[in-house]
Amino acid sequence: MLNFSPRTYFLLGFLFCAGLLLAALYFQFVEGLDPCPLCVSQRIMVAVVGLVMLAAALHNPGRSGIRGYALLGFVMAVIGAGIAARHVWIQHLPADKVPACGPGLSYMFQYFSLSDTLRAMVTGSGDCAKVDWTLLGLSMPTWVLMCFALLAALSLFQLRNPEGLKTF
């Protein structure tokens, strides 16, 4: 890996997250792929990881701050990876084991309690089992899972980044 400053890596991580969110918006509004509850949850986690990385890049902290941002970015990326992994798992269930399809998110936010809506967002529904798009035989949630793994690794790398160890 190249030896950039942690600030540069955090900025690259933020730009990567921004690119993922722009791609999601492209698929939703240009290609017409409506996001399921787990897709929305993954987008939220990509945004959270991106905001952590943006804060780290703007703050340009010392060594202990780099560790704090790196650990926070890692934890958020792992949570996002968990949501994406659940999505991949649901997509690989046999048809008779797929959870029932639920109402759309806008309906749930309007008529369901916040806790019920949030639970549906992280556990998924039958809508989440549908594979609308693939690249190299892998579904979009699989690619997002790999992106979260990359973001988690980037965050962990900051704990041992030789350039960051020089920062005091």
Identify the pLDDT of residue 100. 65
Rounded to two decimals, what is the model's pTM?
A: 0.83
What is the Cα–Cα distance from 81 to 154, expressed in whole angstroms?
A: 14
Paired tokens of 13: 């991580």
What angle do the packed helices 114-123 and 37-59 form, to 10 degrees?
A: 90
Lowest mean pLDDT among 26-35, 74-83, 144-153: 26-35
In the chain the domains, ranked by start, together with CATH numbers, are 6-158 (1.20.1550.10)
| Number of Cα atoms under 13 Å in the Cβ half of residue 99 | 17
Q: Average pLDDT of 153-167?
A: 74
Distances 54 to 16, 21, 97 between C-alpha atoms, Å: 11, 14, 40
pLDDT exceeding 70 applies to what percent of the chain? Answer: 87
Identify the pLDDT of residue 107. 72
Distances 87 to 67, 99, 155 between C-alpha atoms, Å: 30, 12, 23
Q: Are 43 and 23 in contact (CB under 8 A)?
A: no
SS3 135: strand
Tens digit of each residue's pLDDT (9 = 90 or more) over 75-130? 999 999 999 999 898 888 887 777 666 666 677 777 778 787 777 776 666 577 78
Q: Does residue 165 have a pLDDT over 60?
A: no
Identify the pLDDT of residue 106. 73
Paired tokens of 58: 């703007």
Identify the pLDDT of residue 168. 38
Q: Are 150 and 144 in contact (CB under 8 A)?
A: no
User: Which of 47-51, 103-107, 133-137: highest mean pLDDT?
Assistant: 47-51
Within 8 A by CB and 6+ apart from 127, the residues are: 36, 37, 101, 102
Q: Does residue 167 have a pLDDT over 50?
A: no
Identify the pLDDT of residue 20. 97
